[in-house]
Amino acid sequence: DIVLTQSPASLAVSLGQRATISCKASQSVDYDGDSYMNWYQQKPGQPPKLLIYAASNLESGIPARFSGSGSGTDFTLNIHPVEEEDAATYYCQQSNEDLMYTFGGGTKLEIK
């Protein structure tokens, strides 16, 4: 199974600055011309919310300050400028060619 490693495990970013979260896959999640990496935000007591799909596509209704990039095994979620409401835990998730899904371990974002 593909393992996703997120870093850092936690970070604190000042209001208005940039937050960058990394997700590294144990093998490529690219196939059929797409990168099968997605990003979610989860706040306490709530289910996850899809932010980014297929590595760089912004889900409908998600603010443009969220962006995703990467391919192969290395992916990044950027949030800029960070707002207070962005305090949450962020997860990457992949699906491989066998349609097995895995999540990263999560990154907790604190707003200073």
Partner 1 sequence: QVQLKESGPGLVAPSQSLSITCTVSGFSLTSYGVHWVRQPPGKGLEWLVVIWSDGSTTYNSALKSRLSISKDNSKSQVFLKMNSLQTDDTAMYYCARNSLKGGLLYYAMDYWGQGTSVTVSS
Which residues would be at the binding site for partner 1 (CB under 8 A)? 1, 36, 38, 40, 42, 46-50, 53-54, 59, 91, 93, 95, 98-106
Q: Smallest distance, Å, CB 15 to partner 1?
A: 26
Q: Are strands 101-103 and 74-79 parallel, antiparallel or unpaired?
A: unpaired
Copy the structure tokens of residue 111: 């707003």
Q: Are strands 66-71 and 10-13 parallel, antiparallel or unpaired?
A: unpaired
Rounded distance between C-alpha atoms, residue 3 and residue 1, angstroms: 6
Nearer to partner 1, 1 or 85 (CB): 1
The backbone torsions φ and ψ at residue 54, rounded to the nearest 5 degrees and listed phi first, read 50, 45
Nearer to partner 1, 90 or 111 (CB): 90
Nearer to partner 1, 9 or 15 (CB): 9
Q: Smallest distance, Å, CB 78 to partner 1?
A: 18
